[in-house]
Chain A
C-alpha cells in the first residue's frame, strides 16, 4: 500500500473534469428519467 506524502494532496488534472461530466451524465440521465416518471405519478395526488 502506498503511503501518502504531502505531494499526495493533489489538484485534479484539468482534463479530468470532462470525464467527470460524462460519468455524471451517464448516471444522471436514467435517474432524471426515473424522477420524471415518479413525479408524473405523484402529481395525481394534487
Chain B
C-alpha cells in the first residue's frame, strides 16, 4: 500500500494530459469545502433530543458554532505542521490521509450525534476533520504549479475555487438527506453524516489517486520560460526552513491575513447587515427591521439568505478570475487592486446604505467577495514566484496560519465594533459604518505589506550543492522503497 501512495509512483509517463490534474484537485477541494456549509446542521442538531423543538439537554447553536473555530484553527495548523511532509511524501499520500481524516471525521461525528456527545463532534469533524482540511487544501497546490508553469495562477485558482464551492453542493445535499432520513424519533443528522462521510471519502480517494507529478524540470510542449524574466519571479529555490526567515514571507503572511480578515468580517455579517441597513425597503414597505412583523420579517430574512448565497457565488468566481488575471498582470499588481479597489468599496458601502440603494450595496459586496476569494487563490502563485516551486506547498502551508489568525481577527473586530456602537446608542442600520472604515483600514495595512514585497535576497536561496543533495536524498528514498 505504501508503494501505491509513494511520490515516485505517481510521476507521469510521457503523453500524460496535465488537464487531468485539476479535476482531481477539485474532487478533494469540493469535498472539504463543505466546512463552510456546516451551519446547515446547527438547527436540526439544536433539537436532536426534542425533535420538533429544543428540549432540555439539547445543544445550543452557540455551542455548535465552535466547530467553525476548530475547523479554521486546525486547517491552518495542520497545513503549517504537515506542509513539509506533504512536499516530501507527495500529493497522493496527502490526499489519501485527508480522505481518512475528513471522511472519518464525519463518521465519528455521526457517533457523537447518535450518543449525544458533543466532544465527539468536536474531535471528529473539528479536530480530525480540521486536519483533513489542512492536508487536503495544500495537497494539490505545488503539483498544479509544477504542471502549469505557464499559468500558475489559473491552475491553483481552479482548485481553490473548489474549496469555495464545496458548501454550494454540500449544504443542499445535507438538507435533502436530513429530510430523507428524518423520522419521528430522529432529526436525521447522524444518518446524513454517515452518508456524506462515505461520499466524501470516495470522492477524495478518486482525487488522491488521480494526482500525477510531472518529472523534475518538466515544461509544457512549446513553452519555455520568458527570456526576460521579471525580477518578481524567481527561477531559483528557497528552502521552507529558510523561507519564514525572509521579510517576504512575513509581508505575504500580512497580505493574506489582512485580505482574509476583512473578507471574513463581511461574510459573517452579510445577511444581518443587509436586513438591518435596509429593513422594510427590501420588501417595499416603510420602517426599520425592528418595526417589521411576522411574515415581513420572514420575507426579509429570505432576501438576506439570498444575499449570502449571491456573495458566496462571487467568492468562487473571484478565485478563478483574479488568479487567472494575475498570470497576465502579475501577482503584486493584483494584490494592489484588491487593496485599493477594496478600500474604495468598503468606504463606499455606508454611502450606498445612506442613499438606500440596494443594487449598489449588493454590487459593492459582490465585488469585495471576488477579491476575498481572489486573495486565497492567488497567494500560492505569489509564493511560487517569490520562493520557487520546490518547497511552495510547505511554504503555502505555513502562510495559511494567516487564515487561522484572520478567523479570529475578522469576526472579533466586526462583532465588537457593532456591539460597542449599539451599546452607545447608534441605530442598528448605521452600526456597520464604522466597521466598514475599520475593515478598509486593514486593507491599508495589507497594501503597505504588499508594497514591501521585494525579490528575495541571494543569501536565502538554496545553493547548487544543497539542491543536488536534496535530489540525491529523494533518489535514495525512491530506490529504498519497495
B26-A35 in contact (CB<8A): no
A30-B169 in contact (CB<8A): yes
A8-B307 in contact (CB<8A): no
A4-B216 in contact (CB<8A): yes
B217-A19 in contact (CB<8A): no
Closest A residue to B29 by CB, please name it. Answer: A27
A4-B217 in contact (CB<8A): yes
A1-B475 in contact (CB<8A): yes
Closest A residue to B167 by CB, please name it. Answer: A34
The CA-CA distance from A13 to B405 in the complex, in Å, is 45
The CA-CA distance from A11 to B24 in the complex, in Å, is 20
* B237: interface (CB < 8 Å): no
B16-A2 in contact (CB<8A): no
B220 proximity list for chain A (CB < 8 A):
9
B169-A34 in contact (CB<8A): yes
* B478: interface (CB < 8 Å): yes
Given known contacts A1-B8, A1-B475, A3-B217, A38 and B17 CB-to-CB distance under 8 angstroms? no
B24 proximity list for chain A (CB < 8 A):
23
Interface of A is mostly: helix
* B231: interface (CB < 8 Å): no
Given known contacts A1-B11, A8-B217, A16-B17, A44 and B305 CB-to-CB distance under 8 angstroms? yes
Interface of B is mostly: helix
Contact of A23 among B16, B23, B215 (CB under 8 A): B23
Instruction: Scan residues 1-46 of chain A and give those whose CB is less than 8 A from a CB of chain B.
Output: 1-4, 7-13, 16-17, 19-20, 23-24, 26-27, 30-31, 33-35, 37-39, 41-45
Given known contacts A7-B14, A44-B305, A1 and B30 CB-to-CB distance under 8 angstroms? no
Given known contacts A34-B172, A38-B312, A44-B305, A19 and B17 CB-to-CB distance under 8 angstroms? yes
What mask results when residues 10 to 31 of chain B are scored 1 for a CB within 8 Å of chain A, else 0? Answer: 0100111111100110110010
* B168: interface (CB < 8 Å): yes
B15-A16 in contact (CB<8A): yes
Given known contacts A26-B23, A35-B168, A37-B168, A12 and B16 CB-to-CB distance under 8 angstroms? yes
The chain A residues found within 8 Å of chain B, CB to CB, are 1-4, 7-13, 16-17, 19-20, 23-24, 26-27, 30-31, 33-35, 37-39, 41-45
15 A-B Cβ contacts within 8 A? A2-B11, A3-B215, A8-B215, A9-B223, A13-B17, A16-B16, A23-B20, A27-B23, A30-B30, A31-B30, A34-B165, A37-B172, A41-B305, A42-B310, A45-B303
